[in-house]
Structure 1
Amino acid sequence: MAMSLGPLSLVFMLSLIVIPPTLAQNERYRHFLTQHFDANPRGRNDRYCETIMSQRDLTSPCKDVNTFIHGNSNNIKAVCGNNGSPYGGNLRKSNSFFQVTTCTHIGRSPRRPCRYRASAGFRHIVIGCQSGWPVHFDETFIRA
């Protein structure tokens, strides 16, 4: 007697194909948030940069420049949708300003302890999106 694949088996087989890209996508988004998102910063000065860069494990070696976006993560995600405009390739520029803190390495050595200078302000952000999710922050200067 021949066995046929039942509907449950078919769903399981399809899930093996669909789930891995979804998990990878979520992992890239979580990595983006770890590197570039801080909802409620304490301070926004040099000490803030030195502390958060160390907490987020961005100091082995000392990262040259890193920007943290403050506020609501849903607003950042919306840049990949209706709150963003195409900006070349898969990049999108936010239609609104975001509060940001840019941490710039000022030490001479790439080894710890890492010293950072903070630059706080408001600006449009440019992010790379994949399947509607932020996965890359573009540190470059925004063209007019």
Structure 2
Amino acid sequence: MMMGLGPLLLVFMLGPCLTPPTLAQDDYRYRHFLTQHYDANPRGRDNKYCDTMMSIRKLTSPCKDTNTFIHGTKNNIKAVCEDKNGVPYGANFRRSKSPFQVTTCKLRGGSNRPPCEYKATAGSRDIAIACEHGLPVHFDESFYRP
């Protein structure tokens, strides 16, 4: 009976090692995107919000010049990667069909050394993102509708 379990046990043990690296990398890139750009329920959307969020998300060592937080559900953001809420934009991006609430944080002052102080700009804008395997992995820009 043990002879029959040997090959089966080997398959179960090697299975995780055989997961395609691209899927693991996509998952990492998606999680990184969420860390840098996703905040479903912002508290305030003012300069203090930016100072706090940039610090919490570890974007202040050195101070990141500009960062945009998207306020929507993960599913709505992922839908931009599909025809459901996105259209091709430029060479490798997708543009949202509907606007998102966003807060853009811009560094105030000339130094990129902490303490970092940011100016917040809140608004409703279309977003342009890069997607891989149906997941957003890079925020490109946001813009008002014409």
TM-score using structure 1 length: 0.87
Q: Which runs of 5+ in 1 are unaligned?
A: 1-5
- How far apart in 1 are the matches of 2:18 and 2:138? 25
Q: Which amino acid aligns with 1:125?
A: I
TM-score using structure 2 length: 0.86
Q: Does 1:136 align with 2:141?
A: no
**Residue 140 to residue 76, structure 1, CA distance change in 2 (3 Å):** closer
Aligned with 1:48: secondary structure? helix
CA displacement at 1:21 relative to structure 2 = 1.8
Residues 53-90 of structure 1: CA distance to partner in whole angstroms, max 9, x if unpaired? 00000001111110000021110000000210000222
Match of 2:3 in 1: none
Q: Which amino acid aligns with 2:72?
A: G
Q: Which amino acid aligns with 1:102?
A: T
- Aligned partner of 2:103 among 98, 101, 116: 101
Match of 2:91 in 1: 89
Matched length:
141
Residues 89-135 of structure 1: CA distance to partner in whole angstroms, max 9, x if unpaired? 22000000000000000122110000100000001000000111100
Query: Taking every aligned residue pair, what percent have the same amino acid on both sides?
Result: 58
- How far apart in 2 are the matches of 1:76 and 1:8? 40
Q: Which amino acid aligns with 1:66?
A: N
Identify, as 1 or 2, the structure richer in strand. Answer: 2
Could you tell me whether the CA contact under 8 Å between 1:66 and 1:139 is conserved in 2? no
Aligned with 2:122: secondary structure? strand
- How far apart in 2 are the matches of 1:69 and 1:140? 10
CA displacement at 1:17 relative to structure 2 = 4.1
CA displacement at 1:10 relative to structure 2 = 6.4
Within a 5 Å distance, the mapping from 1:1-144 to structure 2 comes to 16-81=17-82, 82-139=84-141
RMSD value, Cα: 2.3
Could you tell me whether the CA contact under 8 Å between 2:125 and 2:144 is conserved in 1? no
Match of 2:4 in 1: none
Q: Which amino acid aligns with 1:134?
A: P
CA displacement at 1:47 relative to structure 2 = 0.3
